[in-house]
Structure 1
Amino acid sequence: MARLHDIVFDCARPAATARFWAAALEGYAVAPYDDAELARLRALGITRIEDDPTVLVEPADGGPRLWFQLVPEAKSVKNRVHPDLRAADVAAETQRLTGLGATVRARYTDHLLLADPEGNEFCLVPEIPEV
């Protein structure tokens, strides 16, 4: 049986989009650049980390990794798949996420539809208390 390993986002600015998601998600961080990775990038002619065409965001707890990869075309339609984020205080989390660069696209009775700085949609839903 297959297990979810990575979620990949196509984007125009992988480093910036990776930083957004690393800040947006609890327990996630942009993977550190070691000497081997920096050498690999230099071999490709890439001298600034900001220009890295594939940026990895890793979870601390072993959940799925997030990859952000450079693509030449702009996003043009609604995502066919999107992440749902959960928060105890949706209003406070909305304010935090928009402070990071997200935009609110729509408000529904049970959730919000937001977009990251690249326009990738995601939902924010209230945390359901455990019984």
Structure 2
Amino acid sequence: MARLHDIVVDSAHPAAAARFWAAVLDGYAVAPYDDAELARLRTLGIASPEDDPTVLLEPQNGGPRLFFQQVPEPKRVKNRVHMDLVADDLDAETARLAELGAVLLARHEKHILFADPEGNEFCLAQLGS
């Protein structure tokens, strides 16, 4: 039976998207770049991790990895798949997400709809609701 390994998000600027989501999600960090990976990027003509077309977020406590991959086309329509997040304090987390660059799109009875800086929708609900 198949197991979930990676969630891949198309992105205009993977490094910035990965940093946003690393700041949003508890227990995720941008994978470090060692000398071998930096050398591999240089052989591809990529001068720095900031221009890496595929940036990995690693879970620190289990869960799927998140990959952000560069695509040339902009986002055009509503996501077919999105992330649902929960928080203990909805108001505080809403303010924190806005400070990170999320855009509040709509408030619903049980959740709040946001867009990340690249326009990808995600939801936030109160823990336990």
After the TM superposition, which residues 32-51 of structure 1 pair with which residues of structure 2 at under 5 Å, given as runs? 32-51=32-51
1:107 aligns with 2:107: yes
After the TM superposition, which residues 1-131 of structure 1 pair with which residues of structure 2 at under 5 Å, given as runs? 1-128=1-128
Q: Give me the whole-angstrom Cα distance separating, in 1, the residues matched to 2:48 and 2:86.
A: 34
Identity %: 71
- The answer to whether the 8 A contact 2:38-2:48 is kept is no
| CA deviation after TM superposition for structure 1 residue 2, in Å | 1.2
TM-score with structure 2 length normalisation? 0.98
**Gaps spanning 5+ residues in structure 2: where?**
none
Segments ≥4 residues shifted beyond 6 Å:
none
TM-score with structure 1 length normalisation? 0.96
Q: Give me the whole-angstrom Cα distance separating, in 2, the residues matched to 1:67 and 1:97.
A: 20
Q: Give me the whole-angstrom Cα distance separating, in 2, the residues matched to 1:79 and 1:34.
A: 33
Q: Give me the whole-angstrom Cα distance separating, in 2, the residues matched to 1:98 and 1:4.
A: 29
Q: How many equivalent pairs are there?
A: 129
Q: Is the partner of 1:77 in helix, strand or coil?
A: coil
| CA deviation after TM superposition for structure 1 residue 48, in Å | 1.7
**Gaps spanning 5+ residues in structure 1: where?**
none
